[in-house]
Structure formats: C-alpha cells, structure tokens
Structure 1
Amino acid sequence: MTIRLPHGTYEPRTEAVSFTTGGTTGGAALASRTVFSAAHVVADPSADVSPDDPAAVDWDTTLAFRRHLWAHGLGVAEAMDTAQRGMGLDWAGAAELIRRSAAEAKAVGGRIAAGVGTDQLTGGPADLATVRAAYEEQLSLVEDAGAQPILMASRALAATARTPDDYLTLYTHLLRQASEPVILHWLGPMFDPALEGYWGSPDLDTATDTFLKVIAEHPDKVDGIKVSLLDAEREVALRRRLPHGVRCYTGDDFHYPELIAGDDQGFSHALLGIFDPLAPLAAEAVRRLDTGDTAAFRALLNPSVPLSRHLFQTPTRFYKTGVVFLAWLAGHQDHFTMVGGLQSARSLPHLARAYQLADELGLFPDPGLAESRMRSLLKVYGVTQ
C-alpha cells in the first residue's frame, strides 16, 4: 500500500530494523568515543498557553525520552538548543529540566552534561559584569545538580563584548570558578543568528585563535569543545591544534560520520542534535568502532546524512521541528506539539520528506504506527489519500 505525500507517492516500510541496546539499565558505555545526544523536550499539549507564555512541559514523557537515550549507551546533553533553549524554553524551564534530568541520570547511571548560559537576561543590553553574574548563577545550578557544565555561547555576551579580550577575561573567570572540567561551546550563526562574530571577530580564523587561547591557558579545566560550524575542514584543523587530552566534540550535523571516524591524526567525539532521532542507529554504529571496524561504522551511519542535512537545512535553527516530528512518528510521544508552537516552523512537504527518509533508514520501531500518524497529519492538512 502506498501513501501519497506532497512530493509524490511512497511505499512505506512494513518491518522495523532491529538496533541492539546496551542491554543494562543505564546502557553499556560506548568505549571508543564519548557520545552525547542533545535531547528535545516534550510539550504538554493540554496546557492553555500562548507562544509568549512560559513553556508547559510534559515532564514524564520528557524524562522517558532521556531514559531511551541512556538505554542505548548515549550521554544526554541537556538544556541545549535542541531542547528549544531560547526558542520556547526560558531559563526557569531550563533550570527545572536540568534538575529533573540530572536526578534521573543519577537514578539510572546515565551520563549527563547541561548547558550553562545567560538566558535569564531578557531586559535588553547588559554589561560584562551582568553577563558574568548570569553565567555564574547557571554554572552553580548545573554543578549543584550533578551535571557536567557546558559553557554555552551567549547571545548577551555576543551583544556586549567589544574585543577578543572581553571573551578571554570572562571565560578565564568562569573556568577558574568551575569545580570540574567543562565543555566549551561554539555555536555558529546558522544555528543562532545572534551569535555572529562570537569570540570577538566575524573572521573565523581570528575567532579560532581566541578560542584556542582560552583553552591553552586552562587545559586542566576544559574537558572538550563542542563545535557547530558545519565546516568539516575547519573542525579538523581546529582539533589538531588542541592541547593533549582536550576532546573535540563534533556538533556538525552535516559531516558527523567522517569526523567521528577520524583519520590517522585523530578523531572527533560527538555532541549532536541529530543523535536525538538517530540514537539506536548511532549507538550501534559507534559499537562497530569499538571493535575497530570503521567500515561497518560508516556503512551504518553514512546513509543517515541525507536525513540530517534535510532536517538541518536553512533556516537551520528550525531543525528542532523535524526532531520532535520524528519522535512523534517513532512513538516516543503521543502528539506533535512543541513549546512555543514551533511545530508550525516547517512546511508539510519538509515533514513528509523527513518521514520518508527516516522510514527508509528503518528508524521507526513500529512502521505501521509511523505511517498511521503520517496519514493523520496529511488529513489535517487536507491531503486526501
């Protein structure tokens, strides 16, 4: 039986692909790479809220999805942009998310890192002292919760800093305060236009020098760097300049198979939004790397790139819509509703193509359920079968 999509007809898969799990509560740890999935939040569809109201979160289903990630052996990168941080989820909601997820991670033995930012600053331009205090508040909460801090790129800092030295001074202060090594975070403007010129310059070579200077001066306080510039050659060049022991976590949702596989001079670990829908497949692929079988890793993960490139196509920051859409089709939640009403951010043809690409990969545990839900969405849009 075929299903009529906006771009043509398609014959859905009838059988699910079986991806193995870690097999133990909390998931067997992956050995050859450190892998985090940035995780989405599940909205409460019955809440009477507007896009301007604080997010109403379905906490039970949100935490259940994190248990799904841990069960496959992945770490959870919490309260990042995949969780609609700054696009529907405010700091109060993010703080509650961090506390709840960190407690859940402790209960099941899952690895968790969490975003430290400045998004409580909503009143317009700030000075550097105010930005620093906002970072300090969030750093304290994340550490108290028991999560590893990820020092996120800050819109407020991008708007306030005037020179590379402003970045150096602020990050030096935060690293000295951190009680354990943190993950630094460089999110390109394709993910958030407000971050244009981060690290003190729109010239990426100059910005890279500043970024690396922060790390070089405090290598004992930097576990790694998460780079999301969608430029594989630049990431490889950057990781080759890192001090020994500092990890490069790829955030490149276009080139992740080659970056994780690496070359004879090194490789990237992973902190990726695309590993939210790809969790079972990604974990299985990395386990092939654990055995030294790079070819099998690439054979599993390479076919997922067209789906990732589709979800992250311009405007890239709206990739979260596709991520939540696939979670609904896969049965991880009972509805396609997002905080801030962001389910409307992608077109029906875009969603239909995402369904087809995900189905071809075998990502849906119950292909019949995915097809039924896709048909129901098409009906809402007036597409007859």
Structure 2
Amino acid sequence: MAKSLLLPRAGGTLYEYTPGKAGSFSVPAKPFTGRIAFSAAHVVCDPFADADPLHHSQIDWNSTLAYRHHLWSLGLAVAEAMDTAQRGMGLDWNRSKELIRASIAEARSVGGKIACGAGTDHLFPGPSVTIADVEAAYEEQVGFIEGEGGQVILMASRALAACAKGPEDYERVYGRILGQVKQPVILHWLGDMFDPALAGYWGCKNDLDEAMDVCLRVIRANADKVDGIKISLLDAGKEIKMRRLLPEGVKMYTGDDFNYPELIKGDEQGYSHALLGIFDAIAPAAAQALHALDAGDLVSYESIMEPTVALSRHIFQKPTYAYKTGIVFMAYLNGHQPHFRMIGGAEGSRSIVHLAQLFVLADKAGLLADPELAAERMKPVLALAGIRP
C-alpha cells in the first residue's frame, strides 16, 4: 500500500493524504462498436536534448509512439497533432509533419484508427495575410496528410480568424478546401477558452447561435465531404442543438471535456461520438465504459464515467488551454514516461496545488494504475516546491 504524502492546499497549508487501491479496469479484447472514440494524444518531450526548451524542445519518439500503441490497444482511435500534442503551442508544423508521418505508419502496422490535424499554423497571422494565403496554407497541410494516407481533421485557423471580414470568408475557405479533399474530413470548432486567438470564429463575435448557423451552412453545402464535426465549446446544450441539426450521415464528435458522459450516452434523438483530450488521461476507464455502453449496461457506464468528470473538470479548469500540463502529468504518474518535462517548458503552466489536487482526484477515480509508483513520482515534484516529508 502506498505511503501517505504531505500535499499542499491553497493558502499554504499542508495535509496528509494516503492513496487508495489501484484502479482495475478490464477491457475486452474485442473492439467496442457503438461509438467512435478518438483520444487526442500528447507528445513526450526528450528531457536530455541539449536545446532551448522554450523554442526548440525535442520529441522523445519512442515514448511518444508507445503511448499511441497504448491507446490503440484499448480500442481507442488516435487524433494526431492536435492541441493536446501542443500543436501551435510548442509543436510547429515541421515537427507535426514528422509526428503525423510516424504515427500513420505505426497505425498501419497494427490496424489502428487515426486522423490527423491540418491547420494553418505555419502561416503567422498578421496584417498582410490574405484569405488566399489561408487557403494555400490549408491546402499544403491537407495535401501532406492525405499524401501520407491519413484522414484529415480540419482544424480551426488562427490566421483565418485574424483576417476574415465576416461569415462569407469562412464559407469561401471551407468550401474551397472541402471541395478538394480525397475523403471526408472531421471539422474542428475550437472555442476561445481553448485558444483565445479563435474568438469570434465563423465571423460571428459573441454569438454562438449565429456561428453555428454559419458552420451548418458550410456542412450542408459540403455534406458528402464531411465525416463529422468536433465542437469544443464546453456547452452541452449547444452541442445537442447542433447535433440535431446536422445532415443525415454527418457525425457529432464531442470535444466537451466537462460533459462528455451524457453527450456520448445520448438521448432519444441521438448521441455524440468522441474526440477528446481527456481520453488520453482516462483511456482505460473510457474504453471499459464504452464496452458497457455497447452491452446496454448504462449503470456500469455511468459508474465508470462519473468519477472521471471531477478529474477532467479540474484538468480543464481556467485557463483551459493549460490542460495539457495535467494530461502529461497523468502519463508521468502512471509510468508511461519517466519524467514530467514538456515541449516548451509547459510543465510549469499549473501550480503545485493544482497538481496535488489532480493526484487526489485521479486516485479517487481509480485512475492511478499503481498508487505506490504514483506516490513515489509525486515526491520529487513536491520537493521542487519545497515540500518534504
């Protein structure tokens, strides 16, 4: 049994906490079939690289690809080179291309499902950037992914948000790109809580209903080229409303890391598939819950998913874009990587109080595979904050 730790509270006090028993998730070897579930996967930093960590962090390729195999082994699909992989927040397009190429090859070797993010992040937003520049940037990234044999997730564009004059510019850009793709893509509507540079996306400032109307016009005009749409707005009501308005055959992929259990379970009028960053951190629980859903066992589904929500809401608390720190911390605690270093030094984006509470919530949700190991890994992190037994 793991020994107790001294953990910090807000305000500077310490308390003693003893982790419980290891989580025990039993995931059948057969795939679940009722839902498609993508985990947006994180990247592992090479801690020994002799490079400026703020601008030139290197990827530990073995550990990064091993984690994708872990996700595939549980029946989850991998959403590659997304914001969970620090895309545009430490991971540039050149390294994203390396990651996409390597992950598609690994997926092919095991029959794993994968889709990859195409954006415009090699085009720096600025006053000289035009709509034509945005279209060319999207075309380059889409062409690369499809050239590697991958499915595209068409990510939201900071450059488009900066230069678009109104909804018609979004309809022009998306119409052009969707008209060229070789296979249906997943659209990605990321709210400004995840990326402040995307405020007012779809050309509608501060009005999500108007923005939804624009997005739906794009989808309806190109329905045969849209597999589905992932929305990350942290608003279950908006997602359900949009889900009910999608053309037949176009899927809703929830990106709501606050309300995912109810959205995936669905209602009498439909349900959402999943494309979630939190599934990186709760993969075994998510996989077992989705098998229970397949079997129609809603009691088990809810009993597995419900304890993960408090952890997810903690990891994705404001500022939401710092959630990646918690995702990597979970991988560190569970032994998937030997260190807690991140691309761009992002391990410093959350406080020691935040990380301590994450440890407790993960333990209570049964998501520490080996609580004794996790406790030992907490100790050096606590020591860096001056907390010693």
TM-score (norm 1): 0.97
Q: After superposition, give the CA deviation of every residue in 1:64-83 in whole Å (9 maximum; x if it has no partner).
A: 00000000000000000000
**Do structure 1's residue 199 and structure 2's residue 205 form an aligned pair?**
no
Q: After superposition, give the CA deviation of every residue in 1:186-208 in whole Å (9 maximum; x if it has no partner).
A: 00000000000000111111110
Q: After superposition, give the CA deviation of every residue in 1:210-268 in whole Å (9 maximum; x if it has no partner).
A: 00001111111100000000000010001000011110000000000010001001111
**Do structure 1's residue 19 and structure 2's residue 12 form an aligned pair?**
no
Q: Which amino acid aligns with 2:8?
A: P
| Correspondence for 1:92 | 94
**Do structure 1's residue 158 and structure 2's residue 161 form an aligned pair?**
yes
Q: Which amino acid aligns with 2:231?
A: V
| Correspondence for 2:259 | 255
Q: How does 1:24-103 map to 2 (within 5 A)?
A: 28-103=30-105
Question: Which whole-Å CA distance do the structure 1 matches of 2:189 and 2:230 have between them?
Answer: 6
Question: Which whole-Å CA distance do the structure 1 matches of 2:144 and 2:32 have between them?
Answer: 28
| Correspondence for 2:290 | 286
Structure 1 spans left out of the alignment, 5+ residues: none
Please report how far the alpha carbon of residue 124 of structure 1 lies from its aligned counterpart in structure 2 after TM superposition: 3.0
Conserved in 1, the CA contact under 8 Å of 2:233 and 2:255?
A: yes
Q: Which amino acid aligns with 1:10?
A: Y
Conserved in 2, the CA contact under 8 Å of 1:55 and 1:90?
A: no
1:135 pairs with 98, 119, 138, which one? 138
Please report how far the alpha carbon of residue 122 of structure 1 lies from its aligned counterpart in structure 2 after TM superposition: 2.6
SS for the counterpart of 1:305 is helix
Conserved in 1, the CA contact under 8 Å of 2:307 and 2:364?
A: no
Paired residues, number: 380
Conserved in 2, the CA contact under 8 Å of 1:22 and 1:73?
A: no
Q: Which amino acid aligns with 2:36?
A: T
Of 139-148 and 256-265, the range deviating more from structure 2:
139-148
Question: Which whole-Å CA distance do the structure 1 matches of 2:240 and 2:87 have between them?
Answer: 28
Q: Which amino acid aligns with 2:289?
A: A
Conserved in 2, the CA contact under 8 Å of 1:51 and 1:88?
A: no
Q: How does 1:312-331 map to 2 (within 5 A)?
A: 312-331=316-335
Question: Which whole-Å CA distance do the structure 1 matches of 2:28 and 2:147 have between them?
Answer: 28
Q: Which amino acid aligns with 1:328?
A: Y
Please report how far the alpha carbon of residue 347 of structure 1 lies from its aligned counterpart in structure 2 after TM superposition: 0.2
Structure 2 spans left out of the alignment, 5+ residues: 10-14
Please report how far the alpha carbon of residue 107 of structure 1 lies from its aligned counterpart in structure 2 after TM superposition: 0.4
Question: Which whole-Å CA distance do the structure 2 matches of 1:255 and 1:284 have between them?
Answer: 18
1:185 pairs with 185, 188, 205, which one? 188
SS for the counterpart of 2:189 is strand
Q: Which amino acid aligns with 2:331?
A: A
Conserved in 1, the CA contact under 8 Å of 2:175 and 2:218?
A: yes
CA RMSD of aligned residues (A): 1.1
Of 47-56 and 103-112, the range deviating more from structure 2:
47-56
Question: Which whole-Å CA distance do the structure 2 matches of 1:176 and 1:43 have between them?
Answer: 37
1:213 pairs with 217, 240, 243, which one? 217
TM-score (norm 2): 0.96
Conserved in 1, the CA contact under 8 Å of 2:125 and 2:159?
A: no
Question: Which whole-Å CA distance do the structure 1 matches of 2:122 and 2:157 have between them?
Answer: 11
Please report how far the alpha carbon of residue 163 of structure 1 lies from its aligned counterpart in structure 2 after TM superposition: 1.1
Please report how far the alpha carbon of residue 21 of structure 1 lies from its aligned counterpart in structure 2 after TM superposition: 3.4
Q: Which amino acid aligns with 1:11?
A: T
| Correspondence for 2:16 | 9
Instruction: Indicate how the Cα distance of structure 1 residues 374 and 119 shifts in structure 2: closer, same or farther if over 3 A, else same.
Output: same
**Do structure 1's residue 379 and structure 2's residue 383 form an aligned pair?**
yes
Conserved in 1, the CA contact under 8 Å of 2:86 and 2:324?
A: yes
Of 139-148 and 181-190, the range deviating more from structure 2:
139-148
Of 275-284 and 359-368, the range deviating more from structure 2:
359-368
Instruction: Indicate how the Cα distance of structure 1 residues 264 and 123 shifts in structure 2: closer, same or farther if over 3 A, else same.
Output: closer
| Correspondence for 1:300 | 304
SS for the counterpart of 2:173 is helix
SS for the counterpart of 1:132 is helix
Please report how far the alpha carbon of residue 336 of structure 1 lies from its aligned counterpart in structure 2 after TM superposition: 0.2
Conserved in 2, the CA contact under 8 Å of 1:54 and 1:90?
A: no
Q: After superposition, give the CA deviation of every residue in 1:163-191 in whole Å (9 maximum; x if it has no partner).
A: 10100011011111000000000000000
Of 111-120 and 46-55, the range deviating more from structure 2:
46-55
Please report how far the alpha carbon of residue 52 of structure 1 lies from its aligned counterpart in structure 2 after TM superposition: 4.1
